[in-house]
Amino acid sequence: MNNKKIVLTGDRPTGKLHIGHYVGSLKNRVKMQNSDKYQMFVMIADQQALTDNAKNPKKIQDSLAQVALDYLGVGLNPEKTTLYVQSQIPALSELNMYFLNLVTVSRLERNPTVKSEIQQKHFDRSIPAGFLTYPVSQTADIAAFKASLIPVGDDQEPMLEQAREIIHSFNSTYGNVLVEPEGVFPPKGQGRIPGLDGNAKMSKSLGNTIYLSDDEDTLKKKVMSIYTDPNHIHVGDPGKVEGNIVFTYLDIFDKNKDKVRELKEQYQHGGLGDVTIKRYLFHILNEELAPIRKRRSMYAKDIASVYDMLHKGCENANIIANQTLEEVKSAMGINYFK
């Protein structure tokens, strides 16, 4: 009997993944994958990506393999983790349709994450219906695999709460069929990495990212462009550590905390230049990302095999999702011809 806890997570294929994704979720996924306590399902959420990219499907198509390569690059192993594509699991769409009847439009509009993203995308009242019902689709993704643990960022907690509400409503109405999930959140201070420009969020759309696939030269150029203390003009000037992105990244990526503490003290006192600390940060980041680039490059040489791996993952995912769908329809009394 398999007593492993079911873990489900994933990303929208709207471009390559960056170090924010890596720290916020990918490292934790690999760690959980390699534990004997968990059974991992990782989804490439192409249907959800289409909710605000419906008129640009090529963007999603082009990004699919790139996200898969990022997954493989960080160490997700298709022998241990089921990697699959959302649109290739028909049961998810059917479950989504049933769950839509268990939530109101007003409740969806109150979801803080949805409200925030609607503002960011300047939809106003012209909100694509699929985008508004994103939390319901996410609930179907979770419920189909009876996932008990969902690794998410802090900003996704309202989405997870709504998924629990919908699943609770289903179980209360039709019987205890589905599992209410719990969130697994990143370590404090690592849920969201600021961008290279000092913006609070690292984002593809803002162009302030370091991608997992960036080569060494690109990484160096990006690190040397990082926002620091604008008043730290001369090497001998005292500098500010708070809000200095170089030190923010060092706090996250440098395992030598004593070294970081020494650098901070020297910078604050005066005598440490921005170029010097940026070169040191480049060394730390390159050491972290080089093995990822190497694995990613190896898999990129045979994209056909990557698609074969995803196809196999979809076959496995379909078996489980279809079983859950049958249980849901039986509980609802709509499996008329069984």
Instruction: Dump pLDDT digits (tens) for 129-184.
Output: 999 999 999 999 999 999 999 988 777 888 899 999 999 999 999 999 999 999 88
Whether the pTM exceeds 0.85: the reply is: yes
Written as six digits, the tokens of 338 are: 């069984």
Which regions of the chain does DSSP assign to beta strands (E)? 5-11, 38-44, 81-85, 149-151, 182-184
Average pLDDT for 187-212: 82
Q: Measuring CA to CA, which residue among 288, 215, 277 is closest to residue 241? A: 277
175: left (phi over 0), alpha (psi -120 to 50) or beta: left
Question: How do 38-44 and 5-11 pair as beta strands?
Answer: parallel
Q: Which helix (H) or strand (E) holds 42?
A: strand 38-44
Mean pLDDT estimate for the chain: 93
Instruction: Dump pLDDT digits (tens) for 280-325.
Output: 999 999 999 999 999 999 999 999 999 999 999 999 999 999 999 9
Instruction: Dump pLDDT digits (tens) for 223-256.
Output: 999 989 888 988 999 999 998 999 999 999 999 9
Residues 6+ apart with CB under 8 A from 154: 185, 186, 191, 192
Full set of structural domains in the chain with CATH: 5-192+303-332 (3.40.50.620), 216-297 (1.10.240.10)
Give the Cα separation of 93 and 87 in Å (integer). Answer: 8
Residue 114 vs residue 293, higher pLDDT: 293
Written as six digits, the tokens of 104 are: 């109101």
Q: How confident is the model at residue 96 (pLDDT cuts 50, 70, 90)?
A: very high
